[in-house]
Homo-oligomer: A and B are copies of this chain.
Amino acid sequence: MTTSTDGRILRGEQTRRTVLRRAVDIASEEGLESLSLGRLAKELQISKSGVFAHFGSKEELQLAAVRAASRIYHDHVVREAMEVPPGVGRLWRLCANKLAYSRERVFSGGCFFYTVTAEFESRPGRVREALVRAQHAWRDLIVRTAEDARQLGELSQDTDTALLAFEVHAFVDTANALSLLEDDLTTPYVTARGALAARLDALATPSAPRPWADEPDDAVTRPD
């Protein structure tokens, strides 16, 4: 089988990318059910059936949007953190990156997964299952990273990593939610950063690095 990408496929993939880029932004603001083929087609100046042909069904469009959002999320939150050595430093990068990813509105409606998970957590189907997998991947990454930090002696030996992952999740998601609801790009992120730093500071061993102390308290709010 030849996987040669011919011109048609290239052209098609370009439109596909365009559609998905718009789709994830809409979904992050209004949810995946508000994604409509007609609306996407009108906004992007292509035909409704053209959009449809790319995905085959609305559910497939939604699933493709989740995959696209996962890639963007990984690029902005995970990738860079994995380049720093395991330990509490990496754990902090994951938290700080996720706060920045929300604050910088990588998706126009804030965290894509916050919006669409709240939307689908009571609806059965493949979209929900995809979101459950994404949530597990993130939670497991936090747990593993915290586990690493503990084994490196950077976190107290009796650290409850599952509890810590819950707290990280709670603080970061709540910062995202409050920022959107209050239309405030500062307070919620500063508060969440403080809560996270206090929690990690209490768990960290005396010899552990404390990257959260190296930055001013409003590091998360400064423009780039």
Contacts and interface: CB of A to CB of B under 8 A. Distances in A.
Interface of A: 28-31, 33-34, 109-110, 114-115, 117-119, 121-123, 128, 131-132, 135, 162-163, 166-167, 169-171, 173-174, 177-178, 180-182, 188, 191-192, 194-195
A122 B29 contact: yes
A174 B181 contact: no
Contacts of A30: 122-123
A119 B118 contact: yes
15 contacts: A115-B118, A115-B119, A121-B181, A128-B181, A132-B181, A135-B181, A162-B191, A163-B194, A166-B174, A166-B188, A169-B174, A170-B173, A170-B174, A173-B174, A173-B177
Main secondary structure of the interface of A (DSSP, over half): helix
A159 to B, nearest CB: 12
A171 B170 CA distance: 6
Nearest to A132: B181
Given A30-B123, A114-B118, 13 more contacts: A29-B123, A33-B33, A33-B34, A115-B119, A122-B180, A128-B181, A132-B182, A163-B194, A166-B174, A166-B191, A166-B195, A170-B192, A174-B174
